Amino acid sequence: MSAPTTPIDPADVDLSVDITGFTLPNPVLLASGTAGYGPELSHAMDMTRLGGFVTKGIAMQPWEGNAPPRIAETSSGMLNAIGLQNVGLASFLEHKTPYLRELRAAGVKVVVNVIGKTVEEYHDVAHGLRGCDAIDALELNISCPNIKEGGIAFGTDCTAAAEATAATVEGADKPVWVKLSPNVSDIASMGVACEQGGAAGLSLINTLIGLAIDLESRRPRLSIGKGGLSGPAIKPVALRMTSEVSRAVSIPVVGMGGIWTARDALEFMVCGASAVQIGTANFVNPRTAEQVVDGMRAWCAAQGIRRVTDIVGTLKLG
């Protein structure tokens, strides 16, 4: 990167990002499952300042989710096993899209996270979202158990991931992002498989599978045993994977994993992410995303960077 060193006016920094056929006003989105369906956080933050918003996952039918305890705090992070409790497609279309239309009218891009237990369900949810004017893209959650394959996750098998991606793309009339699981030995290959399956973009990382226990009772702290680790504890893993995937594919990558500050977000962009998602931080400080947007603009201005996308993939390796 040959960045000029003369600071510029923050107002002159262009934060917009062209991604998978549309333009985010800035690179900051809220991650699926950490901001509900939108209205929940609107009382605590200015949602119109977001670049984009990713909904809680949507399945064909409502899912009840897991019994409590569903969350456990860990060192610089948390484990969760919510179990994808969601209202289902029909209720989503009827009750959740009016607010999302308002968000879109304010310029915020809306991405619907799609979940399913079979390839057919992914296709059907995507098909059911056809024509919906409240959304800009789909994000495919391939960390769900694949019932037909005996419960293995789509997200840990290249062939299954590619099939799920292809089925979703076939059903959808919007760009499809695939959210990658970090619980694999070679995430770049997973990204390539999803790209070959027709994904327009990739988002990563989902949570890392972990375990928290209560020593005295010698029992897991979550009802189903293991859970997904998120928060600052996973950021180094997420940065490494963002770098590996972005160099292996030619489609845009959206990075996430423990982002708390603008500097965190910018690090993901340097590692190849065109945009970022804020997750666990929303639980702690609902205004994190706004602060990240402000901080990004200030950092770019101080560095004399006119377009934030100029830093994407500028990591100097070797």
72 near 220, Cβ under 8 Å? no
| Coarse DSSP helix, strand, coil percentages of the chain, rounded to the nearest 5 percent | 35, 20, 40
In angstroms, the CA 33 to CA 211 distance is: 20
In this chain, which stretch among 11-19, 156-164, 180-188, 254-262 interacts with another protein, using CB under 8 A?
Answer: 254-262
Residue 271 among the catalytic residues: no
Which of 97, 282, 303, 309 forms a contact with another protein (CB under 8 A)? 282
DSSP 225: B
In angstroms, the CA 289 to CA 47 distance is: 9
Residue 79: partners with Cβ closer than 8 Å, 6 or more residues away: 71, 72, 210, 211, 212, 221, 222, 226, 227, 228, 229, 230
Q: Min. distance of Cβ 141 from another protein in angstroms?
A: 15
Nearer Cβ to another protein, position 35 or 144?
A: 35
**Catalytic one among 144, 194, 271, 300?**
144
Q: Which residues pair with 209 in a beta bridge?
A: 228
Q: Min. distance of Cβ 96 from another protein in angstroms?
A: 12
For tokens 């702290």, what's the residue? 221
Q: Min. distance of Cβ 78 from another protein in angstroms?
A: 6
Nearer Cβ to another protein, position 68 or 98?
A: 68
Q: Site residues for another protein, window 73-112 (CB under 8 A)?
A: 73, 76-78, 80, 82, 85-88, 91
Helix, strand or coil, per DSSP, at residue 113: strand
Q: Site residues for another protein, window 224-243 (CB under 8 A)?
A: 231-232
Which of 34, 146, 246, 309 forms a contact with another protein (CB under 8 A)? 34
Q: Min. distance of Cβ 250 from another protein in angstroms?
A: 34
Per DSSP bridges, beta strands 213-214 and 109-114 are: unpaired
Q: Is 16 in the site for another protein (CB under 8 A)?
A: no
Which of 8, 10, 36, 304 forms a contact with another protein (CB under 8 A)? 36
Active site residues: 144
